[in-house]
Amino acid sequence: MAKAAIKEPVITMWSKEFTYDRWMKSQGIPIHGGYYIEDLRKVELEWWEERGCRAAFIQLNGQEGVTASRVSEVPAGKSLPPVKFALDEIVYVLSGRGLTTVWAGEGKAKKSFEWQEHSMFLVPRNHWHVFSNMQGDKPVRLFHYSYMPIAMSALPEPDMYFNNPYEPKVSVGDGDFYSEAKLVQAKDADEGLGMRAFWYGNFFPDMRAWNKLDANERRGAGGKSVFMQFPNSELTAHMSVFAPQTYKKAHRHGPGRAIIIPAGEGYSIMWEEGKEKIVCPWHECSMVTPPDKWFHQHFNAGGDMARYLALHPPMQFHGHAEKIEDRAKDQIEYPNEDPFIRRKFEEELAKRGIKSIMPDECYSNPDYEWSKAMGKQ
């Protein structure tokens, strides 16, 4: 791996091809780009000799050298070879059920836990781990997310990240590492963009069914959200749930988020201010990544509640304004949105034989109270 990266030309000033990009190309497996992936369960995979499995990189435009993602496959009834990765990594189960075993090193206690479709968990940095498929009739697909591009820009030595002999000071054997997530009250609700609490844990059994949610009126549509923090890690995430035949307000932030759909049918619209809009259709296991400071808006065009799970970049790249008055510039209220947005939504619903339940008042009153509206339904 290291030799392949070294042979490439030295990166020049202002280049947006990063060390991580060159390392990806050296691995000989597909790299899927663009603005969205319609179904992560169906992307083309090829054999990755380094990991002993079929895999592909997912590097959408909005990841911008900040975050890394890939899809890997575990054959029916098999286990992948053990691997040790130097960084924390979030794993989301796209299909199937199985078992993960994690340990810090030779002679250290091992932790094993089972997972199913739409489970999410953390594989901690500098730990060996093995993924096993508990199904004997079909492969498992996993989605992996980390901050590897940033790390490789600072330390461009690929071999430092895999099977490094360094042993971590904090081990999964030191406590109930994969126990049930715990509720933590935020010290300052404004720090969490108005959210009053978050869930602290390393294992979330089913993001389709997670119902420990908090009202999130700021984004509109009567939606609810949950924020999640992984212990002893800077990795975070949040999930929003909103009703059918409604849509959220347009907003923008920094790059690097991987937005995965646990449930629902709809689409997102993304655009750089003053430029053409891009429509990204989605359903279960789609992925969307808005580029840096692009406005984007999520629409539930189906008949059931929709969920989108956002895996966050490092806090340095969140891109949220420090003050409430400044945040107003990064969100478009319904009365101020492009007429195309509402027209497109009504057209999409008409194709499905349903109608919008967005109240007329929300298009004229920027202070419309969604909690009262949704309570009447």
What share of the chain in percent tops pLDDT 70?
Answer: 87
pLDDT over threshold 80, residue 194: no
Q: How far is CA 134 from the centre of its chain?
A: 25
CB-CB contact of 146 with 228 (8 Å)? no
Tokens read off for 9: 């030309």
CA–CA separation, 198 vs 292, rounded Å? 25
| pLDDT (0 to 100) of residue 11 | 63
286 exposed, middle or buried (CB, 10 Å; 0-12, 13-18, 19+)?
A: buried
Structure-token match 């049930």, residue found: 180
Pair of tokens at residue 117? 């479709």
pLDDT bin (cut points 50, 70, 90) of residue 170 is confident
Tens-digit pLDDT profile for residues 298-350: 999 999 999 999 999 998 887 665 555 566 688 999 999 999 999 999 999 99
Give me the pLDDT at residue 116, please: 97
- Mean pLDDT is lowest, of 119-128, 164-173, 202-211, for 164-173
Q: How many of the other CB atoms lie within 10 Å of CB of 229?
A: 18
Is 376 a residue whose pLDDT tops 50? no
Question: Please, are residues 62 and 40 in contact by the beta-carbon 8 Å criterion?
Answer: no
Residue 263: strand pairing partners: 307
Would you say residue 211 has pLDDT above 80?
Answer: yes
User: Can you tell me the mean pLDDT for 68-87?
Assistant: 97
Q: What is the structure's pLDDT at 190?
A: 47
pLDDT for res 168: 87
- Residues 94 and 47: their CA atoms lie apart, in Å, by 19
Those residues with Cβ within 8 angstroms of residue 124's Cβ, 6 or more apart along the chain or in another chain: 88, 102, 168, 170, 172, 177, 202, 232, 233
Which domains does the chain show, CATH number per domain? 2-174 (2.60.120.10), 182-365 (2.60.120.10)
How sure is the predictor about 217, in pLDDT bands with cuts at 50, 70 and 90?
A: low
Determine how β-strand 250-251 pairs with β-strand 331-332. antiparallel
Buried b (16+ CB within 10 A) or exposed e, 167-181: ebeebbeeeebbeeb
- What percentage of the chain has pLDDT greater than the value 90? 71
Q: Are 260 and 285 in contact (CB under 8 A)?
A: yes
For residues 285-310, give the mean pLDDT: 96
Structure tokens at 345: 């939504």
User: In angstroms, rounded to a whole number, what is the distance separating the alpha carbons of residues 261 and 238?
Assistant: 12
Residue 336 burial (CB < 10 Å; 0-12/13-18/19+)? exposed
Distance of CA 230 to the CA centre of its chain: 14
User: Which of 113-117, 211-215, 314-318, 352-356 comes out lowest in average pLDDT?
Assistant: 211-215
Measured between alpha carbons, how far is 265 from 303 in angstroms, rounded to an integer? Answer: 8
- 2-48: pLDDT as tens digits: 455 445 556 666 667 899 999 999 999 999 999 999 999 999 999 99
Decide if pLDDT at 191 tops 50. Answer: no
The span from the CA of 305 to the CA of 241, in Å, is: 7
| Maximal CA-CA distance, the chain | 65
pLDDT in tens, 233-274: 999 999 999 999 999 999 999 999 999 999 999 999 999 999
pTM: 0.91
Q: How many helices (H) and strands (E) does the chain have?
A: 6, 27
83-131 pLDDT, tens digit per residue, is 999 999 999 999 999 999 999 988 888 999 999 999 999 999 999 999 9
The residue count for the chain: 377
d(CA 78, CA 131): 9
- Which residues are within 8 A (CB) of 111 and not within 5 positions of it... i.e. 6 or more apart? 101, 102, 103, 172, 173, 177, 178
Distance of alpha carbon 57 from alpha carbon 72, whole angstroms: 9
Hey, what are 44's tokens? 């083309």
Banded pLDDT at 377 (limits 50, 70, 90): very low
H-assigned helices in 63-186: 148-154
Q: 66: pLDDT confidence band, cut at 50, 70 and 90?
A: very high
Angle at 92 between CA 146 and CA 282, to 5 degrees: 100
Strand pairing category for 182-185 and 120-123: unpaired
